Chains A and B, each alone.
Chain A
């Protein structure tokens, strides 16, 4: 092997020499960074409480229209998991004047389709069409939101689709891990109930979904976003005409969760699995807290970016895994941080050991200014990209709206990213990344895991 290496490096040297770059080169400097300004947004509010946000963006003649309603799985009862999804799927089936097929054809001839998604906190009815059809799409989406037909003949089919979907989703190890992890941390709050039982799905009726709709939909909970290229006057007029007479409906009302810090270890057996799905983490700061941005920068340095310490260690150094990542998962006034990785079964214990080492190293020693500045540059660059597509712009503005943040969250973000110091990162690591407090879920071959869990138990003892 040694000989081989020698020959190869000679070969490379000869290439380098022949192209007249005899000495080791360093990259040229970049130019002067250019200014980035957030695109201008135009806000409006109708007398019934419905808000709209319009942003002209880009050169491509398309527009994204999202109607976002502040309800979702969070408003489901303990025996109603996915009732929100069932309701959304029924709404998609048509309005009192147009069936699914008619709507689909109309929107297809605008170059788009109608999407209905049910999230934890929000339901989104959306489409993306050629610019000139912006007002027409708004009218159709409004009809779906305001006048759903709730056709009885589609109930059984849609319930069956949800049951099939449940079975398929529960066969993925990542979903099994998420389900367990959230139930351990969020307990009885809807955030802790990711999947229903088949019995629950069987119990859902047309009346239950109508009830969910009546209780949770209305103008006060709704924001309409239009981002892309479009005629502003026509879009404003369409929003007023389509939504102006809608019922005010209920006020925004989110039951706030109380996530628990528990260093429980849960194992889900997946006999002979070649990998273990590792999910570990704990409750953390939510976006309304002053230190949230410092938390994001710390996450990015520790595990949240490709160049982060955990990823460099268990992927680029050890080769234990392909796609490890850490993230801050936010809810309303709550958040959890976790690291997730699918690691080779025999390296499960070693991976946990390396993760704990990286956390403890950051708690013991502040990062160098250079390392931190790299992460700050990365976060600033990602922020520009997050605001450089119509979909991304909607995400950013919706994030502000959901979490009740002021514009300065976005406008001062780059400045604030660069204000974070190495000492602050170390302090954040000490305060919010306590390995010994983390909930750990492992989905994998149990007989292999029980042998390796000692690494985790040992790591937990070192505070």
Chain B
């Protein structure tokens, strides 16, 4: 019962701007420390748990050119201990106090987060500050994690049918600029050649308070959190950040088509990817609605055509940013759809259905857009409420890092509402043209059992 009462109280004090029954406003408290560290606080007293998330503004796009996979390998090194907390102690501090921790490496950030019982806020902020200050970098830990990461690549890519398809493969085929087009997981040889000085230099270059955001979401008092964050992060010195390299992609003017042999797969698969408009433009928001209309759910155009009408496949995957969502990246991106089909179907008959679906977007009505908007709102609520608050911390952190404005979390819906059928038409013409797409076909070469 207490949980329910608290939930009512929260809505009463935050949801007073609109009368719409489904409105929900996320409380956002945003500020910066003197050393440049961005801080976002968002209380939610539904459950006695708290999320601490630290996001560094360095993703796998920007890693040393002869060290593919290094940003991700480095993420593993952040769990290998500091001078104060030897290897294994960070995991113990979180898990053996009733919480979970994890980290991940994405296009434009690397994140570390903990979901803890609420009373553990202070020690966890201390521990995140501790590893922002410095790591205990040593060869044993590096060798160990090279082994772990190589096994990660093997289990997810090299020993798996459709391993890496299309999430790891497509950016390499669709993009031209090395920063967007290299193997983010890493060639095994590059992973092997990583050295301690690479780890040290990467840490010193990118892991500083002025290149990071700390988000706290959940059952805590903002007053306490502010005190702890100042106390533990306040004295960490800022560093001079390198100039961001040019990660832009040239405009594509010709359809690209590739075939990849897969020795472990026994059914063909196809992925179609279109280059996205720049983030936060009206065309970008239009693409969010187009994604809903085209490929999200049983009502979507591609599902209706490829699954229901033609029976080419049992399901179609699709979306903006396969390694996250349409909000948590900051650079060139693709919108993609993919499916597995039977050898007696030609890829061109699949593409023909894609083309028909795209053409239909020119006749989209306001009613269609209203439905897409409801779907977006609903999925946004899943992000905001999901994964014990980690989903909310993710949006807040990304909007703080990329836009210096985490309160955008509460205005997204307004941006989608501005999209008219005309904006959809314009977006289709400019971005869903066949000359702006890349097609990747998996040629299955497995010896059937």
Contacts and interface: CB of A to CB of B under 8 A. Distances in A.
B253 interface: no
B324 interface: no
B371 A109 contact: yes
A389 B388 contact: yes
A58 B7 contact: yes
B386 to A, nearest CB: 7
Interface in B227-253: 235-237
Interface string A88-116: 00000000000011011101111111100
Interface in A24-57: 24-37, 39-40, 56-57
B133 A312 contact: no
Given A19-B236, A374-B92, A113 B298 contact: yes
B304 interface: yes
A323 to B, nearest CB: 7
A156 B21 CA distance: 44
A320 interface: yes
A31 B119 contact: yes
Contact of A319 (B46, B123, B143, B384): B143
A381 interface: yes
B22 A384 contact: no
B314 A5 contact: no
Interface residues of B, number: 105
A203 B158 CA distance: 35
A60 interface: yes
Nearest to A13: B83
Interface string B32-61: 000000000000101111000000000000
Interface in B257-299: 264-267, 297-299
A188 B85 CA distance: 52
B155 A172 contact: no
Contacts of B266: 167-168, 171
A12 B137 contact: yes
A24 B83 contact: yes
Interface stretch (A126-134, A237-245, A252-260, A425-433): A126-134
Given A164-B313, A320-B147, A19 B98 contact: no
A20 B235 contact: yes
A402 interface: no
Given A11-B200, A60-B384, A343 B151 contact: yes
B7 A100 contact: no
A425 B197 CA distance: 44
Contact of A27 (B127, B134, B139, B311): B127
A435 B150 CA distance: 29
B24 to A, nearest CB: 5
B98 A40 contact: no
B333 to A, nearest CB: 25
A21 to B, nearest CB: 7
Interface string B117-134: 111111100110010011
Given A130-B22, A274-B154, A374-B96, A157 B311 contact: yes
B96 A307 contact: yes
A399 interface: no
A318 B144 CA distance: 6
Contacts of B136: 9, 12
Contacts of A210: none
B347 to A, nearest CB: 16
B371 A16 contact: no
Interface in B289-323: 297-299, 303-304, 308, 311, 313-314
Contacts of A128: 378, 382
Contacts of A316: 87-88, 144, 148
Interface string A253-281: 00000000000000000100111000000
A462 interface: no
B340 interface: yes
Given A104-B299, A108-B374, A305 B237 contact: no
A173 B264 CA distance: 10
B155 A111 contact: no
A305 B96 CA distance: 10
Contacts of B143: 319
Nearest to B228: A28
A342 interface: yes
A361 to B, nearest CB: 17
B80 to A, nearest CB: 9
A57 B119 contact: no
Nearest to B156: A322
Interface in A207-244: 229
A152 interface: no
B98 to A, nearest CB: 2
9 contacts: A12-B83, A19-B235, A30-B97, A60-B24, A60-B384, A275-B154, A307-B95, A321-B148, A389-B388
Given A12-B83, A157-B311, 15 more contacts: A26-B84, A36-B47, A40-B1, A58-B3, A59-B10, A160-B342, A164-B342, A167-B267, A171-B161, A274-B154, A320-B147, A342-B154, A374-B95, A378-B95, A381-B117
The 6 closest A-B pairs by CB, nearest first: A381-B98, A319-B147, A111-B378, A374-B96, A60-B385, A161-B314
